[in-house]
Each structure stands twice: as structure tokens, then as C-alpha cells.
Chains A and B, each alone.
Chain A
Amino acid sequence: MEHVLKIENLCFTYHTLQGETEVLKDISFTLKEGEFVAVIGPSGCGKSTLFSLIANLYQPTSGSIVVRRQNEGFTSPIGYMLQKDYLLEWRSIYDNTLLGLEINHLLGESSIQRVEELLKLYGLWEFRNKKPSQLSGGMKQRAALIRTLALNPDLLLLDEPFSALDYQTRITVSSDICNLIRGTNKTVLLITHDLSEAISLADRILVFSNRPAHIIRDFQVHLTRSDDTILASRNAPEFKEYFHMLWEDLNDVRD
């Protein structure tokens, strides 16, 4: 099967007048269709830079990034969700979610209908005419996700999308959103600082080292859980072991 994303020997260095900084060093990994992969690592190690490279905002210094293109004519097979929601405060929630379609001149009956279904599914339909400032953080985050999903990308890049939320909302919203995404068979790459979040949400975890970042561990997560809820994941017997392992990994790279 063709990979949704194939990264080979990726290096990235950025230059300032003060000198050059090697951010990513020899990163290689692939993502299969439908995989949900979390990326963890010390802060400032270059995880967000990796996303910017995948999203083609920067050019790699060396190495290659191949993103599968399925739907021809589509501008981007990637949906990138940033840390902040960046909802435009002068647009209604409805108009905000249509922004991507508008930019790509894809405002058609079927695409609008899809967004409207997402709004209903995510419980935002009654709030579609509100301005972002009138909504809670969790709702804004969901609106931002709909905006990303409106373009129907194969690969979703989520850069700490829940970090702005308070702890409790964060847990509910993240599991909500992840269950919704799983239902769509999309491939997801999620950056997070929260080890529990990574273990409970992802099928596979990539651990990055300090700068210059390389992958120090890449493993599948298997949790024995009674049901799909977030608590079941966190109560799984393997949870503690994974947590311990990741904790050690991150402690090692910090020293």
C-alpha cells in the first residue's frame, strides 16, 4: 500500500546573523492510511518545524517529503491545525468554517452541505451565526477543526490543538475530536506535550530528541481497554508502562 506520508533523511537548518541552528537531523518515517500518530519531544525541539515543512511553508535543507495526492485538482491534501484557533473575529462561526473552501474557490453545494453536516455533528449548528468571541474555548477549537476538515484532507497535522484549553475541557474535547476523526479514516499526526494524551489517543508514538531533533523511539501503542472512552484508555494496564517509558526517554534527552 502506498504511504500517505513518506519522509526520508529530512534535515533542516535555519540561518540567522548570529549563526546557524540545526533543527532537524536525519528524520525518516512513513505514515500508513488511517494511522493516528503522536509526536512528542522536549519543547523547542523542532516538532512544529517538521509540520511547517510537511505543509510546505518552508523548504527542507536536504531529504525528501512525499505526500500522497489522491484527489486530483485539490490544492492541498494536508489539513494543518495550528496551536491557536485563529478564528477571524469579524466572521461568524459559519463563515469561518467556510474560509478554506472560499480561498480555494470550492464553495459548491456539496462542499457547503458537508460543512453544515460537520457543524451539526460537532454540536455547533445552533451557534453558527455567533461570532467567535461568544463561544467557549472548546467550541472554538471544534470550529477550527471543521475549518480544517472542510477541505477534506487525507492527512491531518494537529499542532497541540488542545493546549489552550483547561485540563478538563482538554480531555473531553481531545477524545471527542479524536473519535470523530477516527470515524473518517484520516491519517493524523499529532504534536503534544502531554504524555497521557499521546498514549491514550495515538496508535503509534514518535519520540523526538533535543535539538537537532532525530527520532529516538518509534513504537505502536496497544492498550487493552473495555470500551472507547478516554477513561478506559487511561485505565488500561499498559498505560502506566508506556507512561514510564516515555518519561524516561524525555528525561534522558534532557540531560
Chain B
Amino acid sequence: MMSEIRNQNQTKEQSKEQTEFLQKHRAYHRKIAFFRGSILCVFLALWQIAVLTNQIDPFFFSSPIELILKAKDFFTDKAFWMHTGITTYETILSFLIVSLISFAFGFVLWRYEFISKVLEPYFVILNSIPKSALAPLLIVWLGTGSTTIIVCGLSVAVFGSIVNFYYAFKECEQGKIILIKTLGGNDMQCFRKVVFPSAIPLLFSASKVNVGLSLVGVIIGEFLAGRRGLGYLIIYGSQVFLLSQVIFCILILCLIAFILYRVLQFIEHKTIAKMGVAGDRSI
């Protein structure tokens, strides 16, 4: 019986070739990390040199050293943390609402093909509207509070996300659905037992896009309606020519996007490991 099982050779002592293979693999990843870091360092160095040799005006372009000095001021400033916190909070909230709406709509569209056929062109059109064009309307309808900004955040992601969730559910192998039916299951059980679990990898990829889009939407909202948040700091900074502040805020936005992406990736890896599905999707 043991001969029938595969992948049994892990317990054996590692051969020389295997050790070499592993070393090569690690060296390759070190190389990737090195070049990633180098690009950033070279960019910062060129920027600083350009400023020092008067190629560009630090008033408009700031400089890495100035940003580092500024960073100290910002990080000790409570107001800055408040602005960052608000933007992050609004992004996470709008991302969660997008996920919820997409799940509900995706399910309905999967379950009732007729509805999906009827609504399809509407989703396509709504998805192709430049969402920043909606923001002025949202201000008129909802005022200039946090609600407007969150709605603005979700408006950017939601239509595309619904379609992605719907396709993720539809992607499920037909044979698995038939299996559940032959075992006496109804549509709801098909969804719970096979459609949803098989859709998880695709739902995660859609969510990783959504979290970025939510951030874009929230910043658009803060540009137009915000009295708080990083979007507001950027607009304010550009109006009073505090361009270091603008650039610094943009860097913080990059950092927020990166952290949110990483958090999702972490949850994805945990989920996939727990499900035991071999998904080698490391970057």
C-alpha cells in the first residue's frame, strides 16, 4: 500500500544535488531582493544628486534628505497620525463594504442566470464611468462628511468587483456541481460546498485589486470633500506650495497600499495553507 502514495521521499536524507538546488533557489531570491532594493537606492541617490547639483529646484521637487528631516516632524505630529489614520480607516471600511456588496451581488448573479444576463450591460457601463466624475454628485447628495468619502471609495471598485466575484463563482467546475446534485444537494449547498471554496483563490486576487482601488477612491473623495485625511493634506499642501508635504503624503499612501496588500496576501496564504490546496503563488 505504501508504494501507492506519492511524495514519500521527504524523510530521506538530502542528496548533494538537492542541497545544490536549494542553494541555487535561495541565491536566486537573494538576487531578486538585491535588485529590488537597488532600484530604490539608485533612484533616491540620483534625486539627491540632482538637487545638490542644482539640476532641479528643491522647492518644487523636495529631496530625500529634506523628506527624512520632514519625516521626523510629521511622525511627532499628532495631527499627521490622525490624517493617516482616517485615510486608512476609510479605505478599509470602503474595501469591506465593496467585498460585502460584491459577494452578495456575485452570489445572486451566479444563482439567477436571468438576472445576470439582464444586468450585464449595466455593470459594464457603470464600470467604465470615470469614477472621479461621480464625486461632485456624491458631495451634493451626501454632503462633505466621511460617508461621501467612503461611498466615493467604494464606487471606484464596486462594479468591477461584482463582475469579478461573479466570474469567480462561475468558474467552478460543472462536474463538482453535478456531484453535489447527485448526492441530493440543492443550489445553496452547491454554493457552500463547492462553488465558494473553489472560488477562494480568485476572490483573493479580486480583493487585492479592490483594496488598491478603494484607496484611490478615498483619496479622490478627500480631494473634493475632505477636511481630514491624506488627500486633504495633499490638496492643502499643493495650494500653499508645501511640496515636500505633498510628496511625503504620497509616499505614505504608497506605504498604506503596500501594507494593506501584504495583509491580504498574508490572509490568502493562511487560508490556502489551511485548505491544503497547493497554490504556489509566491512572487
A residues touching B (Cβ–Cβ < 8 Å)?
55, 57, 75-76, 78, 80, 82, 84, 86, 88-90, 92, 99-100, 102-104, 123, 126-127, 130-131, 133-136, 138-139, 147, 151
Contact = CB atoms under 8 A, between A and B. Distances in A.
A55 B182 contact: yes
B197 A88 contact: yes
Interface stretch (B11-19, B126-134, B155-163, B271-279): B271-279
Contacts of B275: 90
A99 B181 contact: no
Nearest to A84: B175
7 contacts: A57-B182, A76-B182, A82-B175, A90-B276, A102-B193, A123-B1, A147-B183
A137 B278 CA distance: 18
A92 B274 CA distance: 11
Interface of B: 1, 4-7, 173, 175-176, 178-185, 189, 193-194, 197, 275-278
Given A57-B178, A88-B193, A103-B189, A134 B7 contact: yes
A57 B181 contact: yes
Contact of B176 (A80, A88, A123, A135): A88
A134 to B, nearest CB: 6
A123 B3 CA distance: 13
B6 A134 contact: yes
B175 A100 contact: no
Contacts, number: 63
Contacts of B181: 57
Given A76-B182, A100-B184, A134-B5, 12 more contacts: A76-B183, A82-B175, A82-B178, A86-B175, A88-B197, A90-B275, A99-B193, A126-B1, A133-B278, A135-B4, A136-B4, A136-B6
Contacts of B179: 82, 86
Contacts of A147: 183
Contacts of A139: 4
A136 B182 contact: no
Contacts of B176: 86, 88
Nearest to A136: B4
Contacts of A99: 180, 183, 193
Nearest to B181: A57
Nearest to B182: A80
A191 to B, nearest CB: 14
Contact of A75 (B173, B178, B184, B277): B184
Nearest to B4: A136
**When A and B form their complex, which 7 residue pairs have the shortest distance between CB atoms, in order from nearest?**
A90-B275, A75-B184, A80-B182, A100-B183, A103-B185, A136-B4, A86-B179
